[in-house]
């Protein structure tokens, strides 16, 4: 926001976040506020409904299997609109696949059958890993092996076409964004972990539990449990007294009290927070691994309260101003 405000020609912001595309998932994905969106044009937000509404609730729209191809179509239109308006565009976010698709092009591997996709959607992460390892072990080493959508997509392509997704990716067309400056924001491990903890606490204080409760009421518990955004499954299970059961990763039962406000429920909420912190730290580590492989990125190390905008303006973005 500070960079966009400082740009003399005017600027817009395109979110590069695979979770912020879902309507209703706001606090837990750290979407910009309504005031921020009113001040600076934003793209990449609220592009698809969270899921199919639960029985007895009115539908806002139909569920869409939103993927990187949908995102690129939106991004192309948004970038064209901002160019026509004379604005620069700042793309910000941590979804590595979106970054790669924007800057290197999108693989045009075809989709498998609806039946295959349905079957894969019912498998756990561990089961998806084993299925991909059996048919395409090289691809398993290249993707985020904890992301069920990425695993299912790789299996789908291999089983539907007989070719590895690796091969399809090598035949990608020209990228949407060709001229750009790409910056990779880094912090020391201890500082990063402290900021993650503060971020999770802030999201709970902002009403994250209430947001998840509303999503469960509207779309059903299974839709929320299946959502890939960190923390939504954990909170939904805590609210419904099933936390720790049928977990994709982990062992044992952690409690059957629903999250409410006192007694044992507070202990459960603390356990939920703890697991969210662990999952977020693990995701941050995977992001570091992913972006370390991107040759076009320039690292910018921040410490303490050093302003991000000042560091970027000094180190890497004089052309923006």
pLDDT of residue 209: 94
pLDDT of residue 316: 56
- 279, 197 Cβ separation under 8 angstroms: no
Work out the number of other CB atoms within 10 angstroms of the CB of residue 32: 18
Can you tell me the distance from the alpha carbon of 93 to that of 131, in angstroms, rounded to the nearest whole number?
30
- 130, 140 Cβ separation under 8 angstroms: no
Q: What is the pLDDT along the chain (321 residues), one digit of tens a residue?
A: 988 998 888 999 999 999 999 999 999 999 999 999 999 999 999 999 998 666 655 555 444 578 888 999 999 999 999 999 999 999 999 999 999 999 988 776 777 787 888 888 889 989 999 999 999 999 998 888 888 888 998 999 999 889 998 887 777 677 889 889 898 888 999 999 999 999 999 999 999 999 999 999 999 998 899 898 999 999 999 988 887 654 434 333 444 456 655 445 667 788 999 999 999 999 999 999 889 888 888 888 888 887 777 777 766 565 555
State residue 126 phi and psi, 5-degree precision.
-60, -40
Name residues whose C-beta falls within 8 Å of residue 58's C-beta, 6 or more positions apart in sequence. none
Can you tell me the distance from the alpha carbon of 147 to that of 170, in angstroms, rounded to the nearest whole number?
22
Buried b vs exposed e over 58-76: b needs ≥16 C-beta within 10 Å? eeeeeeeebbbeebbebbe
| pLDDT digits 0-9 by tens, 137-156 | 999 988 888 888 889 989 99
pLDDT of residue 58: 57
Can you tell me the distance from the alpha carbon of 52 to that of 164, in angstroms, rounded to the nearest whole number?
32
CATH number of 2-188+295-320: 3.40.50
Can you tell me the distance from the alpha carbon of 110 to that of 168, in angstroms, rounded to the nearest whole number?
9
Report DSSP state, residue 29. Answer: G
CA triplet 259, 264, 268: central angle to 5 degrees? 50
| pLDDT digits 0-9 by tens, 253-275 | 444 456 655 445 667 788 999 99
What are the boundaries of each domain within the chain?
2-188+295-320, 189-281
pLDDT of residue 72: 93
């Amino acid at each position: 926001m500070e960079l966009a405000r400082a740009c003399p020609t005017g600027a817009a912001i395109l979110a590069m976040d695979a979770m912020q595309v879902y309507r209703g998932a706001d606090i837990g994905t750290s979407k910009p506020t309504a005031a921020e969106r009113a001040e600076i044009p934003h793209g990449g937000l609220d592009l698809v409904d969270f899921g199919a509404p639960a029985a007895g609730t009115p539908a806002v729209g139909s569920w869409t299997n939103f993927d990187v191809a949908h995102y690129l179509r939106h991004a192309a239109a948004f970038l064209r609109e901002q160019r026509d308006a004379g604005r620069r565009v700042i793309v910000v976010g941590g979804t590595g696949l979106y970054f790669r698709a924007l800057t290197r092009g999108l693989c045009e591997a075809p989709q498998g059958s609806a039946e295959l996709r349905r079957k894969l959607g019912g498998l756990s992460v561990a089961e998806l890993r084993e299925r991909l390892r059996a048919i395409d072990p090289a691809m398993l080493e290249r993707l985020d092996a904890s992301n069920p959508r990425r695993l299912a997509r790789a299996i789908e392509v291999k089983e539907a076409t007989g070719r590895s997704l690796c091969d399809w990716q090598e035949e990608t067309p020209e990228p949407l964004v060709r001229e750009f400056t790409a910056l990779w924001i880094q912090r020391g491990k201890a500082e990063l972990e402290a900021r993650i903890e503060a971020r999770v606490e802030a999201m709970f204080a902002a009403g994250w539990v209430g947001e998840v409760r509303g999503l469960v009421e509207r779309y059903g518990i299974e839709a929320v449990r299946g959502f890939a955004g960190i923390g939504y499954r954990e909170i939904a299970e805590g609210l419904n007294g099933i936390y720790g059961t049928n977990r994709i990763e982990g062992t044992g039962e952690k409690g059957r009290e629903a999250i409410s406000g006192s007694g044992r429920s507070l202990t459960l909420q603390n356990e939920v927070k703890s697991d969210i912190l662990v999952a977020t730290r693990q995701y941050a580590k995977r992001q570091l691994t992913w972006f370390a492989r991107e040759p076009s990125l320039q690292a910018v190390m921040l410490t303490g309260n050093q302003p991000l905008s000042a560091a970027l303006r000094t180190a890497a973005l004089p052309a923006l101003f």
